Every structure is written in C-alpha cells, then in structure tokens.
Structure 1
Amino acid sequence: MRRTPARRPTMKDIARRAGVSESAVSFALNDRPGVSAATRDRVRRVADQLGWQPSTAARALSGQGPATVGLVLARPARTLGVESFFLQLVSGIQEALAVRRLGLLFQVVEDLDAECAVYRRWWAEHRVDGLLVVDPRDGDPRPALLAELGLPAVVIGAPATGTVPYGAAISTLRADDTAAMASIIDYLHGLGHRRIVHIAGLPGLAHTRRRIDSLHAEAARRGLPDVASMTTDYSDAQGAEATRRVLASPLPPTAIVYDNDVMAVAGLAVAAESGVPVPAGLSIVAWDDSVLCRNTHPALTALARDTAAFGRHAADHLIALLDGAPTTDAQATLPRLTPRASTAAAPVTEGGGPGS
C-alpha cells in the first residue's frame, strides 16, 4: 500500500489551532511586538504541540536555490577520525554533489534513535531535500520513517528484505559482502589455513551479519570446524584487544580477517608484541585497502575497491531521484583481493599438517 508522506505543520495550522491570525503567529514565533504575552505563549505552546520548526534555509521559503543532501553516521565518533573508508566515501559523495552545486549536511550521532530524531528535525526544518543512509540493519526503522516523511534517499548497502516500503522514494546501492568474504576464505584455504578468525565490526549491521554468515557458510562447505567471528566497534583498541584474546587461546588462529584497515594494523602490532611472526606464524587480511595497509611492514593483504567511486555512485543515484527518476537497486563492483606480504602458507604444527 502506497504511503502518503507526512505534511509539515505550517503557520496556518498553528493559527487555526490557536484561534489567531497568521500574522499574529508570525509575530509570536519571531518574537516581534504586536501580540500580547498571553497570545505569544499560546501560539508557542500550539507550535510545540504540532511539532512545528522554523525553516533554516532561505531557499525553502522562496522555493529556489540549490538542494542539500543529508548524511548521518550513528557510529562511535572516535572510530571515524582514523578510518579511511568513510573519509573516502564522503570525498566521493562531495565530488558528485559539487558538480551540481549541491550542499552536504553531515552529522555524527550516538545511536539509531538519535539518527531518526535528526531526520525528523531536518525534515521539519526544511534542511534537506534527500538523504544518503549508511549501515543498514536488520529490522531497520529508517526506510519506513523516510517513506513517512516523503524524503528521497539512497541506502548504501543492502537493506534487509521487506524493510523498504512499497512506493517509497528509496534507491539502494549494494556491496556484495557475501561474495567478498567467500573470496577471502577461498584464498586463505588455498594457502592451507584451517583456523581462521574474523574480527568483525559492529553487531546488528546488515553487512556485519552477511560477512559472518558467509564466513560460516564457506567454513561449513570446506569442513573447517575452527572458524569464528568476534564483533567490535571498529576501533583500533577493540581490534587489538580481540587479537590478544584469540592469540592467547589454546588453539590460536593461523589467519585473522579484520573488518577494516585500522583494526588490521592494530592486530599486526599485537602480533609483534606477542612474538607471533607475520606471515610465518599468522596471516592477516584487511577488509578495506588503504594507505595504512600499503605502508605497514609487512604490507597487508586487503580487499581493494574504489571507495570514492562508491560514494560518487551513491550521490549520483540520489541526484537522479531528486531529478524525478524512478528508484533503482544497483550493485557495486565486487572488491578485489590484493595479496601482499602479510599472508603466506599456513604454518605446519605438531599435528603434521598446515594449520592443523
């Protein structure tokens, strides 16, 4: 069933509810003389009840001027300053928006509830014309909210089936995390690795679940019992702590796959302090290639993709929606595994076989 987007409350709505003229509403809300204190209080109380917000964009008042695109990240702020993925993604987004002289409004929040609150506020204040949405989740409430508000959006990543309401102006740009993880396991298995640990990102994210599911599916297909995943907040601190735990286990892994470059570099440092040689005693793979991966010693094997191009494509899909084009469901190019010096054949253990 097609949803009817919610309508922003107007000064006319406030005037009707408060029983005053629209000019009186304008005077009261703009703190201008011409109305009594009692009328001013009544108008403001009604405005709060209706959820009215002042428009902060002059173009929204005139109907003219460039559009603005919003992007909200509900991730720990401390993880964003060092993670190259989002820096490159935003760079690509900005590059595409600049061609059309569109603005980008960016905000970091603590959690999904706060992100939804930002969307409601931006909608009420006429701040954005469309949204780029990242980190899809299982049971994600954001597509339904955006459909309710009538805000065009592009979801970067594959949302869970059934979460995008029919008729919503929401396109998707998907990355094939399942096939990407399969390519990593195929590579490590070919090197003789049988004990593989995946140090993953935030739990609850759809792409985290897909990577974990793919890891275990590939392990089951190859009969590998000693395969596990651990979730983190993507930070170097949690990546290092997870590495210490698995290397101290009775049967430590011979290969570790990290969900970003920052954790992989932290894991490399922990291996060095633990006396575990890389790659002779431990192979390391990073999910996203970066300058960090290429300039450590040894250089890190990583999944390489053009993240800036990924951002440009997402922005292009949103621009198309703003221009009136139909929604699309596109898939990005599969990342390419780039072997470097951090991976090698699995060590031969006391059992006589590689990684046994």
Structure 2
Amino acid sequence: MSRKPTISDVAQQAGVSKGLVSFVFNGRPGVSAGTRERILTAAAELGWSPNPNARSLTTRTAYALGLVVLRDPTIIGSDPFFPAFISGVESVLADAGRVMVLSVVPDEERELATYRKLAAESRVDGVFLTDLRHADPRISLLDGLGLPAVTLGRPDVPSVFPVIDRDYGHGIDAVVERLRDLGHVRIAHVAGDDRMLHGTRRRDQFAEAVTSRGGEAVVVAADFSPDAGAQATHALLSSENPPTAIVFANDPMAIAGMAVAQELGRRLPDDLSITGMDGSEMSRYLFPPLATVGNDPAEWGRAAARSLLTLIETGASDDVTLPAAAFIPRGSIAPPPTVAPSTR
C-alpha cells in the first residue's frame, strides 16, 4: 500500500468489523478461532499492528473528552452551533460518568500544542475534531499521539478515525430550487471560512445548484461571523446589480444580513429574500421568520459522543451518517420584486 495501513484496511480484507479486529488484538473473548486466524492473517499481510501509544493510553482513564476550537472567541459566542453541540455531548457524557474539557485557541500553533499537552498529561481519553480544514494537520498528529478522535465531517486526507457526517447538499439544493421556482435568477451566497471544509463545500454546492438550474451565482467570501455577514450584505446591496436573494452559510450571518438590508431600506421578503443555514432555534422568532437549512447540532453532539466512547472502550467505532439536512421554508423568502427597490 502507498499509505500506512489502518485497522479499517484489516477489517475490510478480513471481511469483519473494526470492532472484531480490536477484540482480537486486545485479547478479548467472543471471537471464533477461524475469524481470529483470518484477522491475524490479514493484519500480517498488510503489515498492520496496533499503535503502542494508543494501547498504552487505554490503561489510563481520565474520564474526560476534549474539544479544542480554533476560532475567535467572539465568533463562538455568537454561533449557536457550539452551545447546542456541547449540550448534545454532555447529555451522553453525563450518563457515562465523564466530562468534557473545552479549549479555545487563537492560532494553529497553539492548537497543535494543546493536543500534544492533552495527550502527554493524559488529560483526556479522546477528542472531537470540528471545523475540519483542507489537508488538516490534526489528523496525522492525533494518530501519531495515539489519541482517539472522531471527526465531524469527512476529512480530505487519509484518516483512521470514525466520521460523523450529514448530507448538507440536499438542503442547499432544496433552497436553490425553491428560490428559482419563485423566479429568482441572480442569487448570492455569503460563504463561510474558506479554510474550513464545510465552508468551501457549502459554497461549491450552492454554485452547482444555481448554475445547474440556469441561475446566476454570486459568491462573497466571509468567515461565519455576524460582522462579516453584515459587511458582505452591504457590499452586495450597494452594487450596481444587486441580487434578489442571498443564501448565507449560517444563521448568524443571515440575521446580521437581515438587519443591514432593512437599514438600507429593503423590505423583507418583498424586495429581498434571505435564507440561512444550520437551523438555529432563534431563526424562527425573527420577523420575518428566517428560512434556513436544518442541522440539529445537538444530534451531532450525541452521535459524536457515543462514537468516541465506543472507540475508547473497544478500539473501533463505525462511521455514522446522520439524516440529510432539510430545507425549512419560512417567511423570509418570496418572489423577486418586479420593480427594482431603488427605483420604486
């Protein structure tokens, strides 16, 4: 193999689950002699053996799971995803007698150093990887440290860790289809941080959905923060050819965009249609109520916590695919105006 073999490769070659491979190499009972021999043979042929650092960690229990977040604290404070995600995690950890350790870091250097410190001091038994980045260096670092992890989303580099994923393109496609059916042609997207996989994936899914339906896609870069959403909205609506609809990469940016649009004299949704993403609870209480794409961060948290606990306890955990994200239509969208707001 051109890359380092993983427990998943052994399981696939032997025709068993990763959990059975882990049971064999941890000396656990309940595996038939034939299956055990098949697993050992597959591991020998691939040249795979358990990571000694990972095995040594299993003998020490911190009863804590870690979440290291590389974001500006002000962005985290305004983003409803993380509080809901953490509440989902905590609902599982409370029953398991464990706690979560949260670290917010300002840059990648501090982030990687935090993971090394957590592993060296046995502060946590495993970690959650959120906000996956392109060629994410955390994947190989955690593998080398022998620190169990689960990733929220599928990395674009080889990974030994279980994945918690959701088809978000389904919801974005439904948003664009609805806007095109209403008659919108020039549709803008205020994108998330392009260093993050989910930011660029949402951007690309939007562009594909618009162009495939004969619309005109306009993309403006932002960073998921309300301030960036406000600035992008002001630039779009002040341009010579403003869009009639804006799709924001998350709800906080959309909420900021609604405020800017109204300050500029746009009536929502008569003059401008706006949608968000991530389905935050606050989105339904705005005026008009914000159309959005559901995400249920608490469900992400529960699934990630269960998967990570299984990985820590058995040495293996399967990937989890959550139900596809669905479009939630509300009052912030309508057919485009027949007369430009500036002339009316």
Q: TM-score, normalised by structure 1?
A: 0.78
Q: Deviations over 1:276-301 (max 9, x none)?
A: 11100100101022232111111111
- Find the counterpart in structure 2 of residue 128 from structure 1: 124
**What's the secondary structure of 1:173's corresponding residue?**
strand
Q: CA deviation at 1:6?
A: 7.2
- Find the counterpart in structure 2 of residue 235 from structure 1: 225
Matched residue type, 2:171: A
Instruction: Note if 1:75 corresponds to 2:78.
Output: no
Q: Is the 8 A contact 2:170 2:325 kept in 1?
A: no
User: Please, what is the CA RMSD of the aligned residues?
Assistant: 2.1
Query: Any residues of structure 2 matched to 1:282-297 within 5 Å, and which?
Result: 282-297=272-287
**What's the secondary structure of 1:251's corresponding residue?**
coil
Q: CA deviation at 1:197?
A: 0.8
- Find the counterpart in structure 2 of residue 150 from structure 1: 146
* Counterpart-to-counterpart distance in 2, 1:93 and 1:335: 20
Structure 1 residues 212 and 272: CA distance shift in structure 2, 3 A: same
Q: CA deviation at 1:114?
A: 2.1
* Counterpart-to-counterpart distance in 2, 1:113 and 1:257: 33
Matched residue type, 2:134: D
Q: Deviations over 1:281-340 (max 9, x none)?
A: 100101022232111111111112322122101110101101115232222111221111
Matched residue type, 2:302: R
* Counterpart-to-counterpart distance in 2, 1:269 and 1:115: 34
- Find the counterpart in structure 2 of residue 280 from structure 1: 270
Instruction: Note if 1:329 corresponds to 2:319.
Output: yes
- Find the counterpart in structure 1 of residue 213 from structure 2: 222
* Structure of larger gyration radius: 1
- Find the counterpart in structure 1 of residue 169 from structure 2: 178
* Counterpart-to-counterpart distance in 1, 2:264 and 2:315: 55
Matched residue type, 2:190: I
- Find the counterpart in structure 1 of residue 40 from structure 2: none
* Counterpart-to-counterpart distance in 2, 1:268 and 1:308: 26
Q: Deviations over 1:90-146 (max 9, x none)?
A: 110111111101121101111233211110111111111101100111111111111
Q: CA deviation at 1:76?
A: 1.1
* Counterpart-to-counterpart distance in 1, 2:154 and 2:245: 28
- Find the counterpart in structure 1 of residue 30 from structure 2: none
**What's the secondary structure of 2:115's corresponding residue?**
helix
Comparing 214-223 and 270-279, the one that deviates more: 214-223
The one of 195, 204, 207 equivalent to 2:195 is 204
Matched residue type, 1:341: G
Q: Tell me the matched-pair count.
A: 293
Q: Is the 8 A contact 2:248 2:277 kept in 1?
A: yes
- Aligned-residue sequence identity (percent) comes to 35
Q: CA deviation at 1:252?
A: 0.5
**What's the secondary structure of 1:326's corresponding residue?**
coil
* Counterpart-to-counterpart distance in 2, 1:127 and 1:172: 23
The one of 158, 167, 171 equivalent to 1:163 is 158
Structure 1 residues 84 and 97: CA distance shift in structure 2, 3 A: same
Q: CA deviation at 1:254?
A: 0.7
Gap regions ≥5 residues in structure 1: 9-59, 351-356
* Counterpart-to-counterpart distance in 2, 1:301 and 1:100: 37
**What's the secondary structure of 2:77's corresponding residue?**
coil
Q: CA deviation at 1:213?
A: 1.1
Matched residue type, 1:108: V
Q: Is the 8 A contact 1:303 1:338 kept in 2?
A: yes
* Counterpart-to-counterpart distance in 1, 2:319 and 2:60: 30
* Counterpart-to-counterpart distance in 1, 2:53 and 2:293: 44
**What's the secondary structure of 1:284's corresponding residue?**
strand
Q: Is the 8 A contact 1:131 1:154 kept in 2?
A: yes
* Counterpart-to-counterpart distance in 1, 2:203 and 2:60: 47
Structure 1 residues 230 and 108: CA distance shift in structure 2, 3 A: same
Comparing 240-249 and 339-348, the one that deviates more: 339-348
Structure 1 residues 65 and 120: CA distance shift in structure 2, 3 A: closer
* Counterpart-to-counterpart distance in 1, 2:292 and 2:206: 16
